[in-house]
Amino acid sequence: MKFNKAIKNLFIVLFSTLLISACSTAKKANVDTVDDVYTGTDTVEFLAKGVPDRIFFATNKSKLTTASRDTLRKQATWMRKNKDVTVTVEGHADERGTREYNLALGERRANAAKDYLMTYGVSGKRISVISYGKERPVNPASSPLAWSQNRRSVTVKAN
């Protein structure tokens, strides 16, 4: 089951990548979320060249997608190369959940990212986490697109 889902996710990611590149010059179609997870590039910043700072989540979930794991591996590689860098992983939720639950959810998302960075060789001592729940939306709109951009964890340089 899990394997099937992973394959499915992979195909969706591949497919949407194709779609995005196909549509990049034409009118932008509504392909910015796949399975409720934001796959676009708006709002994304970079820790270094080719190292995106954030990953996105499905509603009420903290599971890492294939694309998220890819981003986190890039972050881990960059952190292993830059041994002095410490980071804070900020976990966020969208505005469509109760405040306290969202605080817990943001913490769970930030830790999912932290755990993955650690599996790829970054010491936990270099990573602190903080949850902002739904308190710091990156996109203040009330729309499914904004909510998908706000369900995120962002790795921020702390020093």
State the Cα–Cα distance between residues 59 and 149, nearest whole angstrom: 11
Instruction: List the x/- string, 127-146, binding to another protein by CB under 8 A.
Output: ---xxx--xxxxxxxxx--x
From 13-21, 36-44, 76-84, 97-105, give the range in contact with another protein by CB under 8 A: 97-105
Q: Which of 39, 62, 65, 75 binds another protein (CB under 8 A)?
A: 62
Q: Which residues contact 151 (CB under 8 A, 6 or more apart)?
A: 37, 38, 56, 57, 58, 59, 92, 93, 94, 109
Supply the minimum distance, in Å, between the C-beta of residue 96 and another protein: 7
The DSSP result for 94-119, as a single string, is -SSS-HHHHHHHHHHHHHHHHHHHHH
103 touches another protein by CB under 8 A: yes
Residues at the site binding another protein, with contacts judged by CB under 8 A: 60, 62, 95-101, 103-105, 107-108, 110-112, 115, 130-132, 135-143, 146
